[in-house]
Structure 1
Amino acid sequence: MKPTQFAKGFKARPDTTSSEKRTALDRINAIDEIVNQEAGNDKQVTGRSSAYTEEEFHADSAMQESEQFKAWRRQNRYVHGQVVELPLKAIKPSPFNPRHFYLKASIAELAVNLAKQGQQQAIHVIPDHENPGTFFVSDGGRRVRALKEANKETVKAIVIDLPIGIESYKLGYDLNVQRDSQTVFDNAIVWKRFLDEKHFQSQRELADHLGLDESTIAVALAIAKLPENVMHEMVARPDRFGSNMAYQVSRFHTARGADATLRLINKIASDDLSTRQVADIVKGRASAQETPKPASRQRYAQRLEIKLDGLAVGDLKTYGDDRLELRLRGLSKDKRDDILQQIEKMLQADTVKR
């Protein structure tokens, strides 16, 4: 099916609820499995699983598709899960995209990969019925950006019957969570917008809809008060700036402002500060210039390396006058039990003497 064969002008069905027989995520997982099977790919998509058979998927899709999509699909002879090529200029971001931040370095790296190997996995798109011939990205915004950077003109896509709204957001959010690509900073920006635009009337309603604890929403909204340029400095280091660390940074920003916060972020990264150390800075127990140092570990007085059959299996360390530390590893279960029994006998003998 050529891109120009897509029907024009049909309306999306109303936003559906979680009471459907299958969730949107179930259906997308099923699509990917069927597409991979048809392509002869025996590898399972990382982080995804589904109990669907191909027959179940097609039957379920037929039950749930909107009348408009059914008419469009028949007109274009489109089969659920079919991969088509669409012009990149026809693809646009969804207003309910769960991602907000896209790292330039990550996009550039993917663009090089796509230029060499081509697009291996289709994106998922939703027709924009108000502007026929254009499509919202439901899943695959990073690939779209990388393909454009690689100067490609088309993108492999699967067209899905899903209303643009909270349901399409939840689909993208769930997929990103599976891939560990959803960050607290994306959540902060998007969730604040959802509440500002009255898609949800309260933090509680948003938390219930996403199946999250309300405290998770509250932390993200606190982080949302940070300027985006400050968030950008943390987005690139998800290993250092998780939700707890970002929350402490947001508290510091409230008290000290953007310039001091940027300096603190640099210090967190360079000095490998812990969340507790940053919390002490926020509470005034330490300064950002002189952060508290963790207590140094006690130095052992003597160390004896232990070998069995010529191989080092551990060591015996003494500390001060009353502490002994034995560490052994790589032992067979029988050898371990034998050593344990000997130690117990020694201790019991010493107790009897006393």
Structure 2
Amino acid sequence: MSKRLGRGLDALIPSLNISDDEKVVEIPLNQLRPNPYQPRKTFNDDSIKELAASIKEHGVIQPIIVRTVLKGYEIIAGERRFRASEFSGLATIPAVVKKFSDQQVMEIALIENLQREDLNAMEIAVAYQSLIDQFSLTQEELSVKVGKSRSHIANFLRLLQLPEEIKQYVSRGTLSMGHAKAIVSLKDEKMQTMIANSAIKEQWSVRELEEAVYKVEEGNAAAKKSVGKPKKKDPYIHQLEDNLRNVYRTTVKIKHNNNKGKIEIMYYSKDDLERLLELLKGKIS
């Protein structure tokens, strides 16, 4: 019977199963190095200490998975157990040595963390993009490999379009994945940042942020519509402008709204201004 690494993980990566005929060996910790493709950038110190306490009492129950590299071994699965063993002061750790390609190592590291929900949204997005870029995968191919829907993959990849400031908010957990998904729908970076900062300051829920984004988009649509269809000038106003233009022999514009407004009379030199002033004085007197 094979020893399972975790619910669902062995199904996605059958090669991680440890069969009864595979040899478990004790490997010195100083001969191990972390997975260079590890998408998780931070490890929770408290959880490592809790695991270390368990290891001190019961030992490392489940062997880690490694592959042979130049000058030692590389951890494929089990970095938390490795770190906790170091914290416990152990000299060696039980391990099974397997052969994996670089692509398999990247996939395993990502899937293992996804299964345990150890990654934040930005770490997941960066890991997805790394797999796509490094191994020329389509989103559909990646979705099959990690056991997620293509829309799930696409939603995370869209986060990479966000300004760096907002990416940091998501990485630190200041904004959730739901907040980020709403913000990324806005096209203007300045507006994205403004909305993000408002959401943090006002402690908006995802729903409240979605409503704010909707209002911004609705306002933009209304502005575009008004620009696309300029208001037709009142014929009476148009006639008055023509009459004044003939009187003052210059451009005259009348701007009005709700029976209030202003008259703009253009001049193009000092002499032109003095001419207009004389005309106006004559009309007034």
Same fold (TM over 0.5): yes
Structure-1 separation of matches of 2:138 and 2:9: 33
Q: 1:100 to 1:188 in 2, by over 3 A?
A: farther
Residues 31-86 of structure 1 show CA distances to partners (whole Å, capped at 9, x for unaligned) of 416xxxxxxxxxxx7626989xxxxx99xx8xxxxxxxxxxxxxxxxx84322221
* Structure 2 match to 1:348: none
Q: 1:265 to 1:138 in 2, by over 3 A?
A: farther
Give secondary structure in 2 for the equivalent of 1:102.
Answer: coil
Structure-2 separation of matches of 1:176 and 1:146: 17
Pairwise CA distance, 1:140? 0.9
Q: What is the correspondence of 1:18-37 to structure 2 with a 5 Å cutoff?
A: 31-32=2-3
Structure 1 letter corresponding to 2:211: D
* Structure 2 match to 1:207: 143
Structure 2 letter corresponding to 1:185: M
Give secondary structure in 2 for the equivalent of 1:224.
Answer: helix
* Structure 2 match to 1:160: 98
Aligned residues: 208
The structure where helix makes up a greater share of residues is 2
For residue 244 of structure 1, the aligned residue among 168, 178, 187 is 178
* Structure 1 match to 2:51: 110
Q: Contact (CA 8 Å) 2:120, 2:171: kept in 1 or not?
A: no
Q: 1:251 to 1:165 in 2, by over 3 A?
A: same
For residue 144 of structure 1, the aligned residue among 82, 105, 108 is 82
Structure-2 separation of matches of 1:244 and 1:116: 40
Q: 1:257 to 1:99 in 2, by over 3 A?
A: same
Q: 1:115 to 1:278 in 2, by over 3 A?
A: farther
For residue 281 of structure 1, the aligned residue among 204, 212, 228 is 212
* Structure 1 match to 2:126: 189
Residues 251-287 of structure 1 show CA distances to partners (whole Å, capped at 9, x for unaligned) of 579445669746734754xx6x2x222212333469x
Q: 1:217 to 1:113 in 2, by over 3 A?
A: same
Residues 202-232 of structure 1 show CA distances to partners (whole Å, capped at 9, x for unaligned) of 4344335445433222211122345463233
Q: 1:113 to 1:206 in 2, by over 3 A?
A: same
Structure-1 separation of matches of 2:43 and 2:84: 10
Structure-1 separation of matches of 2:170 and 2:89: 29
Pairwise CA distance, 1:124? 1.0
TM-score calculated relative to the size of structure 2: 0.56
**Does 2:29 correspond to 1:88?**
yes
Structure-2 separation of matches of 1:32 and 1:196: 33
Pairwise CA distance, 1:87? 1.7
Identity of aligned residues (%): 22
Q: Which 5+ residue runs of structure 1 have no aligned equivalent?
A: 1-29, 34-44, 52-56, 62-78, 287-354
Residues 186-211 of structure 1 show CA distances to partners (whole Å, capped at 9, x for unaligned) of 321211223344x1254344335445
Structure 1 letter corresponding to 2:96: I
Q: 1:254 to 1:209 in 2, by over 3 A?
A: farther
Give secondary structure in 2 for the equivalent of 1:223.
Answer: helix
